[in-house]
A = this chain, B = another copy of it.
Amino acid sequence: MTRNLPTSAARIDEDISALADITEPDRPYTRRAFTPMFLKGREWVAQRFEAAGLTTHIDAAGNLIGSRKGRKPGLGTIMLGSHSDTVPEGGRYDGIAGVSAALEVARALADNGMELDHDLEIIDFLAEEVSIFGVSCVGSRGITGTRPEAWLDRQSEGVTLANAIAEIGGNTAAQITRNDIAAFLELHIEQGPVLESENLDIGVVTAIAGITRIEIVVEGRADHAGTTPMGSRKDALSTAAWIALAVERFATDLAAGEFHFAATVGEFRMEPNAANVVPARVTMLIDARAERRTDMEHFLAQLHDGVAGIAAQTGVTVPEPRVLSDNMPTPCDAGVLASLDVACDATGARHRRMASGAGHDTAWMARITKAAMIFVPCVEGRSHTPEESANAEDIALGAAVLLDAVRRLDKD
């Protein structure tokens, strides 16, 4: 389908390709925040911001911002953006697609001589991905008053996070919670297969799922694998296997409902992990995601009962599952969602509403402003891998949706 869009796929492709090329030509998808490659990439992003007529600065939280004054001082700021950092080994679109789309909105406005009433800011959030300091969403948490003080003392190779932020131009001593933002919008690749499989252009994100991390330790007993009769064992692995299958079953049942739910045993560590020893202990980490808090509570209750039932059946000790972290779902702003639906229709984008199972800066921005986000398709739903791929045309269409929504929000 060829649409007559105000946004340019070619420019977006140039943003993304050139950034990949200059940062690390032979392995172009690793730009972990704070590393030299990230700084080199950011310098280039800043040049692209300036070339689009934006005034750039690094804010106190370490975010790169390109701004343009609006016609009516005091109305506040419409902010658009995402992040330019990556996880190790990928991907090429995660984050930067949203920075490029936001920049493309600014370029399209300039192309067409359109001015906004609100101030406009394009943001490249610092360290959305889990960084070398072990924490994520550093920039968005910084400007929303949700960055834990204790994080600042975290070290990586002898440098504290506070110093690392200062080195790239921030200042963690300054008061930096923003209270002037009228609305925030983010475009991101879906990182899942739904849009592609349903042949849609845009996902209008209703909520960012809450993420709960649960640790389960199965306490069996190390015994000689050759001599211990099958009936006399306390094999931690088989109890852990039953638990992993129960997690999958509970999650599959909940996912059959209307709201997004997923649970995964992503980490599984066995001890002593020796060929001829009956497994003594398994430590499992469950990552559970719920669009709706009641689903998460239901899952936790099922897990509690399920684990107790399995332990009673196998005779292997399993202490109560331990909730390591528990973040609530973040609904997107209903008014902004309505604007995005209308913008999709106006732009000719086939769209659906859907939840985000992944965490995003938008979840933090929702603490201080009307926030929402849109997804564009990515190939086979693959993400956080060098194979991650998306289409510049799809991103340009997403940018056109953002542009349309921004013009509507500007008049609210």
A residues lining the B interface (CB < 8 Å): 190-194, 197, 209, 211, 213, 222-232, 235, 237-238, 240-242, 244-245, 248, 251-252, 255, 261-262, 264-270, 273-279, 285, 287, 289, 356-359, 381-385
Number of copies: 2
Q: Bound state CA distance, A382 and B262, in angstroms?
A: 41
Complex interface: chain B residues within 8 A of A226 (CB) = 191, 209, 211, 262, 287, 289, 356-359
Cross-interface CB contact of A192 among B224, B275, B381, cutoff 8 Å: B224
Q: How far is the CA of A382 from the CA of B234 in the complex (A)?
A: 12
Q: Which residues of B contact A228 (CB under 8 A)?
A: 192-193, 262, 357, 381
What are the residues of chain B within 8 A of A232 when measuring CB–CB?
192-193, 197, 381
Knowing A227-B357, A356-B227, the reply to whether A279 touches B268 (Cβ < 8 A) is yes
Chain B residues with CB under 8 Å of A231's CB are 252, 255
Determine the residue in chain B with the shortest Cβ distance to A285: B275
Identify the closest chain B residue to A238 (Cβ): B248
A192 CA to B290 CA, complexed, in Å: 47
Determine whether the beta carbon of A230 is less than 8 Å from that of B251.
Answer: yes
By the criterion CB–CB under 8 Å, are B209 and A264 in contact? no
Distance of A228 Cα from B251 Cα, bound (Å): 12
- If A222-B385, A230-B255 are given as contacts, then 6 extra A-B residue pairs at C-beta distance below 8 Å, sorted by A number, are A213-B275, A222-B384, A227-B356, A230-B248, A230-B261, A269-B273
The CA-CA distance from A277 to B90 in the complex, in Å, is 13
Contact A227 B358 (CB under 8 A): yes
* Pairwise interchain contact B224-A191, C-beta atoms closer than 8 A: yes
- A265 adjacent to B245 (CB under 8 Å): no
Minimum CB–CB distance for A222 against chain B, Å: 6
B358 and A266 contact, CB distance less than 8 A: no
Beyond A225-B287, A228-B381, A381-B228, whether A266 also contacts B278 by CB under 8 A is: yes
For the complex formed, measure the closest distance between the CB of A245 and the CB atoms of chain B, giving whole angstroms. Answer: 5
Closest to A355 in B: B227
Instruction: List 26 interface pairs A-B (beta carbons < 8 Å), by A numbering.
Output: A192-B224, A224-B381, A224-B383, A225-B357, A226-B262, A227-B262, A227-B356, A227-B381, A230-B251, A230-B255, A230-B262, A231-B252, A235-B248, A237-B265, A240-B241, A241-B242, A241-B244, A241-B245, A264-B276, A265-B279, A266-B275, A266-B277, A266-B279, A268-B268, A275-B285, A275-B287
Which A-B residue pairs are the 5 nearest by beta carbons?
A192-B227, A241-B241, A226-B357, A225-B264, A227-B357
Measured CB to CB, the closest approach of chain B to A163, in angstroms, equals 27
In this complex, what residue of B is CB-closest to A222? B385
* CB-based contact B270/A252 at 8 Å: no
Q: Are B268 and A223 in contact (CB under 8 A)?
A: no
A13 CB to nearest B CB, Å: 24
- Tell me the bound Cα distance from A194 to B231 in angstroms: 11
Give Cα A9 to B289, complex, Å.
Answer: 63
